[in-house]
Amino acid sequence: MDPLDQMTASRQVVRGILVNELKRMGGLKYTETLKVRMSKEIGDGKTKKDSVYFKSKTGTATNFEDIESTAAQNQLTILSRIKTFQNLGSNWIILNIESHYVMYKPLKGSSYTKLSGDINNPKCGLINMKNNDNLCFLWSHVRHLNPKARRATTITQKDREFITNLDYDGIDFPVKISDIDRIERKNSISISVFGYKGKKQFYPIRISKAKYDEHMELLLLGDGEGSRHYVLIKDVNRMLFSVSKHTHKNTSVYTVFTVV
């Protein structure tokens, strides 16, 4: 059985499924895996059988053209991996091939998202950059290093020029929590991320273990539908104190909060 024939035969069926899911989710990521059942002679008239899995890279589709291009790339990747396996001289013979697909909705970025009323006040010490792209993390980083006393949430031409001082090479947007380690190393900065449950409840998502002199805190908000938006925390103690019932500011609140 030829792997190329199997992939070609299943392509139209799979394409239809991907198109329907793309319409439903508005965007998707998927991986393709070929389960190849093989056998080989091991001597004394005995045959060994086993299943080997060949997985594609993760494909991202936001439109119908993406489905065609990622499918073609997946096919090349899988066929190349099968060829490499066979060239190892293992003498395996292909008996059967099955195609498997895993689809999921990718993390969506968000343009400017208005803060909820309970934290949308100056006392919280939050700077919510007014971006119209997926770069809320980057713009927050820019404002942290390039602060403004007035109209701090507005992205200016100087802010766009300031980006050249930062290294986000190889970082995909919207930024995933798992990529923050790389951003820290590339830019020599410690970055901690907090979440907000509503009803004045903040919680730590990621507390940086890096020991750089520069450190930044971000608030990560979600809309319940997969969108995520980063907001710069100008002063984390001020943010936590703003929802505290205490009548005086506790300068150790950040330390206590990170331990809990």
139 near 166, Cβ under 8 Å? no
Q: What is the pLDDT of residue 1?
A: 59
Bridge partner residues of 40 (DSSP): 48
Task: Report the C-alpha gap between 15 and 242 in whole angstroms.
Answer: 51
Give the amino acid at 151. R
At residue 243 the predicted structure's pLDDT band, cuts being 50, 70 and 90, is low
- The answer, yes or no, to whether residue 256 has pLDDT greater than 90, is no
At residue 83 the predicted structure's pLDDT band, cuts being 50, 70 and 90, is confident
Task: Report the C-alpha gap between 217 and 48 in whole angstroms.
Answer: 56
CA nearest neighbour of 107 among 174, 179, 177, 187: 174
pTM exceeds cut of 0.75: no
Q: What is the pLDDT of residue 247?
A: 39
6 near 37, Cβ under 8 Å? no
Q: What is the pLDDT of residue 195?
A: 87
Q: What is the pLDDT of residues 136-160, one digit of tens each?
A: 999 999 999 999 989 999 999 999 9
Instruction: Work out the average pLDDT over 156-178.
Output: 92
Task: Report the C-alpha gap between 164 and 249 in whole angstroms.
Answer: 38
Task: Report the C-alpha gap between 115 and 123 in whole angstroms.
Answer: 13
111 near 218, Cβ under 8 Å? no
Higher pLDDT, 129 or 228: 129
Q: What is the pLDDT of residue 232?
A: 95
- The separation between the first and the last C-alpha atoms of the chain, rounded to the nearest angstrom, is 57
Q: What is the pLDDT of residue 129?
A: 94
Domain positions in the chain are 3-104, 126-245
Sign of CA dihedral 25, 106, 136, 159: negative
183 near 191, Cβ under 8 Å? yes
At residue 244 the predicted structure's pLDDT band, cuts being 50, 70 and 90, is low
Cβ neighbour number for residue 159 with a 10 Å cutoff: 16
Q: What is the pLDDT of residue 59?
A: 78
Sign of CA dihedral 87, 90, 91, 94: negative
Instruction: Work out the average pLDDT over 50-77.
Output: 81
